[in-house]
């Protein structure tokens, strides 16, 4: 059983990371939680308002590529585990600037793995369903599916996953990987689909949807994902991959219509724009291993969770 006594969480000021912070601090066995974040555009210190009042919590601004810093943080805090959520994660940005994704997602992960090996600290890698590429209709990928990424983003995450697995095969490191489906919830950056659509709808502007809008994603609330990451670290077998999903498939067009209905806006605001290169048609994961091995499942119903999310995001987006 891995220990939660002292955790280093990279990327903890981002969307999923800041939720994971809150869930970790709910545990009595967490004595120390250190967030290491570079505070690029996707991170926000306000995401950590509340947790920053906890005496067990510390935020450090820095880069996962800084080996001396990472080593010092692990040694000073006698870390018992690393959760790696630091990543460049926007597909559109990866198409324009793939080099940034190679540096952070691949080289950064490699650096963290080396320090984890030297300090003998268990390592959790947060990954994505996108590493498999498009899922055929009426199928779901299990953990043994072939990696076939379509974008520079998903290719960088697949590469990082392979480095994590190689660390186990070559050095015997205690590593585990969680691959997540699309997340929704509070504090999500405005460049992502749901906040973008809400932002435009509030201003009666066209809601841009790539192509037909029939791309299908499985949507999971970020609270459920965070508890899944904790369960993966706590109960996951070394070098195993676990899928975290909610079995809640929706088209992007359906998401847009749901947002417009809740905000009292007309569907005529939907605007179909030229599709982006390599846009996968569908993602769907088989989550049975997580259900049986981790005693975890997504518990927040989409309807209530999504309605609350739209209200919360809309309140913030009206103010900016």
Question: Could you write out the three-class secondary structure of the chain?
Answer: CCCCCEEEEECCCCHHHHHHHHHHHCCCCCCEEEEEECCCCCCCHHHHCCHHHCCCEEEEECCCCCHHHHHHHHHHCCCCEEEECCCCCCHHHHHHCHHHHHHHHHHHHHHHHHHHHHHCCCEEEEEEHHHHCCCCCCCCECCCCCCCCCCHHHHHHHHHHHHHHHHHHHHCCCEEEEEECEEECCCCCCCCHHHHHHHHHHCCCCEEEECCCCCEEEEEEHHHHHHHHHHHHHHCCCCCEEEECCCCEEEHHHHHHHHHHHHCCCHHHEEEECCCCCCCCECCECCHHHHHHCCCCCCCCHHHHHHHHHHHHHHHHHHC
Report pLDDT digits (tens) over 37-78: 999 888 899 999 999 999 999 999 999 999 999 999 999 999
Average pLDDT in the chain: 96
Catalytic residue among 132, 153, 242, 283: 153
Report whether pLDDT(121) > 90. Answer: yes
- Domain 6-185+219-247+287-295 bears CATH identifier 3.40.50.720: yes
Confidence at residue 320, expressed as pLDDT on a 0 to 100 scale:
57
pLDDT at residue number 127: 98
129 belongs to the catalytic site: yes
Exactly one of 37, 63, 130, 218 is catalytic; name it: 130
For residue 172, the model assigns a pLDDT of: 98
What mean pLDDT is predicted for residues 99-105?
A: 94
Closest CA to 160 of 121, 123, 119: 123
What number of other Cβ atoms are within 10 A of residue 161's Cβ? 22
Give the pLDDT of residue 165.
98
Instruction: Give the pLDDT score at 317.
Output: 87
**What values do phi and psi take at 131, rounded to 5?**
-65, -20
Is 295 among the residues known to form the active site?
no
pLDDT, position 318: 81
Per-residue pLDDT, 90 = 83
Query: Residue 112 — pLDDT band, cuts 50, 70, 90?
Result: very high
pLDDT at 43: 87
Question: For residue range 265-286, what is the model confidence (pLDDT) as tens digits?
Answer: 999 999 999 999 989 999 999 9
More confident call, 88 vs 184 = 184
Average pLDDT rounded to a whole number, residues 167-188? 97
Mean pLDDT of 137-142: 96
pLDDT number for residue 1: 82
What is the band of 95 on the pLDDT scale with cuts at 50, 70, 90?
very high
Does residue 130 carry a catalytic annotation? yes
Residue 248 pLDDT > 90: yes
Catalytic position from the list 63, 88, 129, 174:
129
> What confidence category does residue 319 fall into, taking pLDDT thresholds of 50, 70 and 90?
low
pLDDT tens per residue across span 191-227: 899 999 999 999 999 999 999 999 999 999 999 999 9
* The token pair that represents 233 in the structure block: 């670290």
């Amino acid at each position: 059983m891995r220990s939660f006594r002292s955790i280093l969480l990279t990327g903890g000021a981002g969307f999923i990371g800041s939720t994971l912070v809150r869930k970790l601090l709910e545990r009595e066995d967490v004595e120390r939680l250190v967030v290491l974040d570079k505070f690029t555009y996707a991170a926000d210190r306000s995401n950590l308002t509340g947790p920053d009042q906890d005496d067990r919590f510390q935020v450090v601004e820095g880069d996962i590529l800084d080996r001396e810093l990472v080593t010092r943080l692990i040694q000073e805090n006698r870390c018992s585990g690393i959760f790696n959520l630091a990543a460049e994660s926007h597909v559109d940005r990866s198409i324009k600037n793939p080099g940034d994704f190679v540096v952070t997602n691949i080289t950064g992960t490699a650096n963290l793995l080396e320090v984890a090996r030297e300090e003998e600290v268990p390592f959790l890698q947060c990954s994505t369903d996108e590493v498999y590429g498009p899922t055929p209709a009426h199928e779901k990928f299990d953990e043994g599916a072939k990696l076939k990424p379509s974008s520079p983003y998903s290719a960088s995450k697949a590469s990082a996953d392979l480095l994590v697995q190689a660390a186990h095969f070559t050095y015997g490191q205690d590593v585990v990987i969680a691959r997540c489906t699309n997340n929704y919830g509070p504090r999500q950056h405005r460049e992502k689909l749901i906040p973008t659509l809400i932002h435009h709808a509030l201003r009666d502007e066209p809601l841009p949807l790539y192509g037909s809008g029939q791309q299908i994603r499985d949507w999971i609330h970020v609270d459920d994902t965070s508890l899944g990451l904790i369960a993966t670290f706590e109960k996951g077998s070394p070098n195993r991959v676990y899928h975290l999903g909610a079995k809640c498939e929706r088209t992007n067009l359906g998401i847009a219509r749901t947002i417009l209905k809740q905000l009292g806006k007309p569907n005529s605001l939907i605007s179909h724009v030229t599709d982006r290169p390599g846009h996968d048609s569908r993602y769907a994961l088989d989550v049975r291993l997580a259900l049986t091995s981790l005693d975890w499942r997504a518990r927040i119903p989409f309807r209530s969770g999504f309605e609350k999310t739209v209200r919360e995001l809309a309140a913030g987006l009206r103010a900016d």
